[in-house]
Amino acid sequence: MENNRGQWGSSMGFILAAAGSAVGVGNLWRFPYLMGSNGGFWFLIIYLAFVILLGIPVLLGEFSIGRFTQLSPVAAYKKIQKGSGFVGVLAIIAPFVIMTYYGVVGGWALKFMGSFVTTGAGLDWSAFTGGDLTLGVWQPLVWTFIFLAIAWFCCIFGVKGIEKANKVMMPALFVLLIIVIIRSVTLPGASEGFMFMFANVDGFTLGAVPAALGQVFFSMSLAMGAMITYGSYLSKTENLPKSAVRVASLDVLVALLAGVAIFPAVFAMGAEPGAGVGLTFFTLPGVFEAMPAGAVFGAIFFLLIFFAALTSAISLIEACSAFAIDSLKLSRKAAVSILCVIFAVLSIPNSMSFAAGTPFSGEVFLGMELFSSVDEIVNNFILPLGGLFMCIVVGWFWKPQNAIGEIESTPGYTFKAQKAWSMCIKVVTPVLIAIVFVTSVLKLFGVVSF
Ligand code: PFF
């Protein structure tokens, strides 16, 4: 079974696919709004520190587990350490749960793009998700299903199809992003957006720390089985540390570029930068409508969100289907198809949670509706826990030497940063995750407040 699971056709294909997984709605939608509501510049600094101290070490750990075992996450963890299969199970639960709302966002992007193309304007997001448009609450769901069908098509052909899709969409995404940036930064008043991103030092709150931690995990697709699965399709010739640094850099770059595309335009048009979750879909359509040639740029922007969402969704689906193929012995077609149908069904409650009067409306967790509750719980609890266990398993049971052995199995390669990496994976990363995690749990139960 392991031998016919496929391999990446080229190093570039792998980097683009892993970057495609990392670069997603998290960069274009989550990062800017988190930065906007967590004090701008300081959030950025904490975020960058976490990428270096946590993100890159964990990503490298996941690539090496994947390549060493050539297995999907649950089987992979079992192979490196008996009894640690539950970490793999966490790494499957996370992408599974995320796929119950990721497709909803992908569907919004499709609909908004279509709206800019056909009417020259975006939509009223509240009316759209709230069920006030013609098709009622079914309208956003139809678009979610279309998005999932496209993702299904990209996944049924296996690793080769995934590579092809990423090789087209990732370069396109960069080009589209640059076009939007040029428009945004040339608007009168755009410089205020830069000030907000890079010179806003007053808005810091301690809440930015756990938010940045969750965002690093989400944005770099960590602790979700995706990077282990993608790593399992690698050949020994791939230099893993170099790949990890490249993927992380591309991910940070796109998050920053998304900020540069969004904030100058938001300020230039006098909109509100701290609008939270609604920034992309609520604030930005108005921003595009108000600018010269806004219809074109609005359509381009939502097309780019669609590409970003699709390449990430592909990796989330792939993590779950690789598990179903390896562990449940399903064929690829059956695994991908069954999963996509399940995701479609489970998207219904998340999508409907924005509309009033549905069985899924109302507050679920900390005053948030179902959709945001799921997002919050996965990112702030399941992912950090998964990352923590991963560090413990690799650092203290499988042992860094074994991972280093895998990393150095690339012909002619010596891993120079091996001491620093071992230190990170054994101590620095898990301690940091544990501190931030415990603090956010205490905050949740009202023991501390900040
Ligand atoms: N990294 C993606 C983003 O930033 O939107 C989200 C994601 C994709 C998470 C794939 C996990 C994953 F496996």
Distance 279 CA to ligand 1 centre (A): 19
Q: What is the pLDDT of residue 276?
A: 63
- CA 19 to ligand 1 centroid distance, Å: 10
How far from chain centre, in Å, is Cα 213? 13
- Retrieve residue 189's tokens: 């008043």
pLDDT at 4: 66
CA of 23 to the centre of ligand 1 (A): 7
Q: Which of 98, 101, 378 to mutate to test the pocket of ligand 1 (most atoms within 8 A of CB)?
A: 98
Amino acid of residue 254: V
pLDDT, tens digit, for every residue of 388-430? 999 999 999 999 999 999 999 999 999 999 999 999 999 999 9
Q: Pocket around ligand 1: residues whose beta carbon is below 6 Å from it?
A: 21-22, 24-27, 95, 98, 218-219, 221, 224, 226, 312, 315-316, 319
The pLDDT of residue 3 is 47
Give CA–CA dist 128/282, Å, rounded: 10
Query: Do residues 231 and 63 make contact, with C-beta atoms less than 8 angstroms apart?
Result: yes
Determine which residue's CA is closest to atom 8 belonging to ligand 1: 312
188: exposed, middle or buried (Cβ count in 10 Å: 0-12, 13-18, 19+): exposed
Query: 227 C-alpha to center of ligand 1: Å?
Result: 10
pLDDT at 450: 67
Contact 260, 185 (CB under 8 A): yes
Mean per-residue pLDDT over the chain, rounded: 91
Token duo for residue 81? 């350490």
Q: Which helix (H) or strand (E) element contains residue 320?
A: helix 294-327
Specify the pLDDT at position 275.
65
CA dist., res. 95 & res. 90, Å (int): 9
What pLDDT shows up at residue 277? 64
Q: What is the pTM of this model?
A: 0.92
Ranges under pLDDT 50 in the chain: 1-3
Chain segment 89-124, per-residue pLDDT in tens: 999 999 999 999 999 999 999 999 999 999 999 998
Of 33, 170, 219, 251, which is best to mutate to test ligand 1, by the most ligand atoms within 8 angstroms of its C-beta? 219
Residue of minimum CA distance from atom 11 in ligand 1: 221
Which helix (H) or strand (E) segment holds residue 122: the answer is none
Mutate to test the pocket of ligand 1, among 21, 254, 375 (most ligand atoms within 8 A of CB): 21
pLDDT for position 33: 79
The alpha carbon of 141 and the centre of ligand 1 are apart by a number of angstroms equal to 21
In this structure, the number of other CB atoms found within 10 A of the CB of residue 30 comes to 24
User: 93, 312, 339, 380: which to mutate for ligand 1, most atoms within 8 A of CB?
Assistant: 312
Cβ proximity of 310 and 151 under 8 Å = yes
What pLDDT was estimated at residue 228? 97
Calpha distance 389→383 (Å, rounded): 10
